Chain A
Amino acid sequence: MTKTKDIRLMKGNEAFAEGIIRAGCDGYFGYPITPQSEVLEYLSAQKTKERTGMVVLQAESEIASIHMVYGGAACGKRVVTSSSSPGISLMQEGFSYLAGTELPCLLMNVVRGGPGLGTIQPSQSDYFQTVKGGGHGDYKMIVLAPASVQEMYDFTKLGFDLAFKYRIQVMILSDGAIGQMMEKVELDKQLPRLTDEEIIKKYPWATTGKTADRERNIITSLDLNPAKQEIMNRKLQAKFKRVEENEVRFENIHCDDAEYIFVAYGSSARVCEKAVQLGRAKGIKVGLLRLITLFPFPYEEVARLSKQVEGILTIEMSAGQMVEDVRLGANGAVRVEHYGRLGGIIPAPEEVLNVLEETFIKTKTYA
């Protein structure tokens, strides 16, 4: 019996929207912003209420969106919001509250260039904001970096799974190119949404109404007693450590015999993959470490490769953010340089290969 696959041509943003529906999402709250408006548009056109019972609501702002997410997540529901850089900046207080209350939810940022209103063109300059915090307090969120429309789809289910496994926020850090481009996507079967009874069983912490058989459930990040607040923070840190130990994801492309490697994620990783092909055709032993999780960051893999290669070039459409983590991983074992384009420009494969050659090969000195 041949199984026919459900394959469609979709934009990254649409694939994300279809992905959350099929992964059993209960509610999406969002506010329009280019280049991710297709998410809310697609969901609105899908009549999700009839399709799966999923709630879709256009909020009055990104601030409202993230706090609607908070309310839903605290009830044990699978909730999502997405935006692009300026809107994500507005949500930071909400992210911090979600972290402090350990609420699971799925977030997505189709990054555009900044600072300020910046540009609607793709960028990767929100790495620091996403990976290093953004909101106040000591917290982390799991960050997944899709490099294809298929991954925009796949990471929705993965994102929900991780979010509920750890009671943590999961951010899909995309960019204007991945969000807007069209590629074929293989879709999975619709997963059922959980019933209220299932939620009560699976997530006993959720605010579902206090029944006689349990104490009241309170979702709060407040504790005015410093000793208790420290214990709470230590508990959070222990969780982030568990995530670091178990959830690192990356892809090695031609790294086995590489003398030089690119480190990149998202759109830049696609550029680098092409540059690796071009380099190999020229006889340069070059590989690519493609990051899939940005938190947790694959420090160990960077450390391992640092001992093998003669140079690392990070490619990121930023002034050099992710490179700081690569340098931490390399810990001085090898020279690590950054190359990036700003303001919404995607570098070309020839361009980044040329930078690699200029930086590490042509300047090579033999002692």
Chain B
Amino acid sequence: MLDTVPITKEEICKPENLVYGRTPLMTDATLSYCPGCGHGTIHRLIMEVIEEMNLQADTIGVAPVGCSVLAYDFLNIDMQQAAHGRAPAVATGIKRLMPHKFVFTYQGDGDLAAIGTGETIHACNRGENITIFFVNNGIYGMTGGQMAPTTLPNMKTATSPFGRDIETMGNPLKITELIAMLPGTYYVTRQSVHTAANVRKAKKAIQKAIEYQKLNKGLSFVEIVSNCNSGWKMTPVESNKWMEEKMFPFYPLGDIKIPK
């Protein structure tokens, strides 16, 4: 036993000791996401960047249907809730009429790459000056873990209980590579937030995407490959490992299209 007086909580929690705080752009509401889910980290990163760039009063966010449908409970900015898949159209309406605002969507893979494929492709192809944050967890999280357009071959979900059979259920869609080919996109990148190093990289990508919107050069697209430990039926630690082993080989991290 060390013969020292233990440091009390009060002694530690002093303003001068503060090295990191929660951005005031996150509300006090308790996150409703499953423990271990990446949404909370991604929310925080986007809000930190908006705070650092002093954009709160200029930001309008769009949260469509999916696990992040309640994002507006946590993000302290003006927000619109969009119908399933239609966020890029909603954002187009906002940005065309409020071109000086920073407009972003925050979409899941079912939302962006299945029901909303048309809106996604066309908003990207028109080069709308918006930013799309695309959270790819390879599954329909909110509705209980059904197969998504991004579900990997042989992956088990509630609607592919014996694994995704690509013969009958089709192939996973690399929508991000697809939209990178469109002339309307300016910056397309794929990130993750499952380690501290990846969080730092993802934040840089988010910063760039937001900065690029100011240039009016087209659409910036940040995919974040994330976990869904509930839907995948794994512990958070297992799910992050599985993501590294299975998801990243199919969805490799890094920039896909960078401004020339």
Contacts and interface: CB of A to CB of B under 8 A. Distances in A.
Interface of A: 26-27, 29, 55, 57, 59-61, 63-65, 67-75, 77, 79, 93-94, 97, 101, 196, 207-212, 216-222
Contacts of A61: 118
Contacts of B118: 60-61, 63-64
Nearest to A26: B97
Given A64-B89, A70-B90, A71-B89, 13 more contacts: A61-B118, A64-B92, A70-B93, A71-B80, A71-B93, A75-B94, A75-B98, A77-B97, A210-B56, A216-B76, A217-B79, A219-B80, A220-B79
Contacts of A222: 69-70, 81
Nearest to B62: A71
Contacts of A209: 56-60, 77-78, 101
Given A69-B93, A75-B98, A210-B78, A60 B60 contact: no
A27 B97 contact: yes
Nearest to B93: A71
A218 B78 contact: yes
Contacts of B174: none
Nearest to A96: B83
B82 interface: yes
Chain B interface size range: 20 to 34
B57 A210 contact: yes
B83 A93 contact: yes
Chain B binding surface, main DSSP class: helix
B97 A75 contact: yes
Nearest to A100: B81
B59, B70, B98 interface centre (most CB from chain A within 10 Å): B98
B76 A68 contact: no
A208 B78 contact: yes
A208 B118 CA distance: 27
27 contacts: A27-B96, A57-B96, A60-B118, A60-B119, A63-B119, A64-B92, A65-B89, A67-B119, A68-B89, A68-B93, A68-B96, A70-B82, A71-B89, A72-B93, A73-B93, A77-B98, A79-B93, A207-B78, A207-B79, A209-B57, A209-B59, A210-B57, A216-B78, A216-B79, A218-B72, A220-B80, A220-B81
